[in-house]
Structure 1
Amino acid sequence: MNTIAAEDPRRQAVPGMTGSIEEQVYFARQPLLDRDAMLCGYELKARAAQPGDADLHATAIPIPDRLVGVHPVVRAAIQPAVRAALVGHIGYLDVTREMLFDESFAMLPTERFLLELPPDIAVDNQLIARIVTLHARRYRFVLDGVVQADHTFAQLLPYAEAVKIDFTGIASAMLPKLVAALRSAGKILIASGIDTQADFEAAFKLDFDRFQGYFFARPQASSARRVSAPRHALLNLLHLLGSEPTVAQLETELKLNPVLVMHLMRLANASSFASGRKVTTLRDAINATGTDRIARWTQLLLYADGRKVALENDPLLQLAATRARFMELAIAHLPAAGRDEADAAFLTGVFSFVDAVFGGSLEGTLNVLTLARPIRAAILTRDGVLGTLLSAIEALERGAWAELDALCVQLAPLTVARIAAFALEAAAWAGVADRNAEASGLERFED
Structure 2
Amino acid sequence: MSFSAVDRPGMSGVEGDQSSSGPLADPWQVYFARQPMLDRDGMLCAYETLPRVVRIAVQEEVDPQASAGRALIKGFATPALRASLSHHPAWLDVTREALFDDTLLRLAPDGVMLELPVGIGADPDLIARLVVLHKKRYRFALDNVTKADESFAKLLPYVDAIKIDTQDIAPALLPKFASVLKSAGKILVALNVESPQAHDRAHALGFDRFQGYYFAKHQGGSRRASAPRQALLNLLQLLAAEPTVMQLEAELKLNPVLVMHLMRLANSSSYALGRKVTTLREAINATGTNRIARWTQLLLYADGRKVKLEDDPLLQLAATRARFMELATAILPEAGPSEEDAAFLVGVFSFVDAVFGGAIDDALEVLRLPKPIRAAITHREGVLGRLLDVIEALEQGDWAAVDMACASLAPLDAGAVAALTLTSAEWAGMADRNAEAQGLERIED
For normalisation by structure 1, the TM-score amounts to 0.89
1:292 to partner: Cα distance: 0.8
| 1:103 aligned partner | 102
1:364-403 counterparts in 2 under 5 A? 364-403=362-401
Q: 2:226 touches 2:304 (CA, 8 Å); kept in 1?
A: no
CA distance in structure 1 between the partners assigned to 2:378 and 2:418 by the alignment:
24
| 1:151 aligned partner | 150
Q: 2:224 touches 2:302 (CA, 8 Å); kept in 1?
A: no
| 1:325 aligned partner | 323
CA distance in structure 2 between the partners assigned to 1:264 and 1:91 by the alignment:
32
Distance 1:127 1:272, change over 3 A: closer
1:42 paired to 2:47: yes
| 2:15 aligned partner | none
Q: After TM superposition, where is structure 1 displaced by more than 6 Å over at least 4 residues in a row?
A: 9-13, 67-70
CA distance in structure 1 between the partners assigned to 2:270 and 2:33 by the alignment:
34
One-letter identity of the residue aligned with 2:426 = A
What do the CA deviations read for 1:245-281 (whole angstroms, capped 9, x no partner)? 1222212211111111111122223356453343332
What do the CA deviations read for 1:78-98 (whole angstroms, capped 9, x no partner)? 111111111111111111211
Of 11, 22, 31, 1:17 maps to 11
Secondary structure in 2 matching 1:27: strand
1:372 to partner: Cα distance: 1.8
One-letter identity of the residue aligned with 2:111 = R
1:94 paired to 2:93: yes
One-letter identity of the residue aligned with 1:240 = L
1:359 to partner: Cα distance: 1.2
Q: 1:392 touches 1:404 (CA, 8 Å); kept in 2?
A: yes
Q: 1:34 touches 1:211 (CA, 8 Å); kept in 2?
A: yes
1:230 to partner: Cα distance: 2.9
Structure 1 portions without partners, runs of 5+: 1-7
Secondary structure in 2 matching 1:24: strand
Q: 2:175 touches 2:205 (CA, 8 Å); kept in 1?
A: yes
One-letter identity of the residue aligned with 2:155 = L
1:288 to partner: Cα distance: 2.3
CA distance in structure 2 between the partners assigned to 1:420 and 1:361 by the alignment:
30
For normalisation by structure 2, the TM-score amounts to 0.90
Structure 2 portions without partners, runs of 5+: 13-19
Secondary structure in 1 matching 2:110: coil
CA distance in structure 2 between the partners assigned to 1:141 and 1:404 by the alignment:
29
1:216 paired to 2:215: yes
1:42-191 counterparts in 2 under 5 A? 42-49=47-54, 71-191=70-190
Q: 2:343 touches 2:384 (CA, 8 Å); kept in 1?
A: yes
Secondary structure in 1 matching 2:108: coil
1:16 to partner: Cα distance: 8.1
1:287 to partner: Cα distance: 2.2
Of 230, 233, 241, 1:232 maps to 230
What do the CA deviations read for 1:305-339 (whole angstroms, capped 9, x no partner)? 12112111110110011101111111111011101
One-letter identity of the residue aligned with 1:134 = L
Distance 1:442 1:11, change over 3 A: farther
Distance 1:356 1:126, change over 3 A: same
Between the two proteins, what is the percent identity of the paired residues?
Answer: 60
| 2:360 aligned partner | 362
Distance 1:230 1:271, change over 3 A: farther
Q: 2:223 touches 2:304 (CA, 8 Å); kept in 1?
A: no
Q: 2:118 touches 2:145 (CA, 8 Å); kept in 1?
A: yes
Moved more, 99-108 or 13-22: 13-22
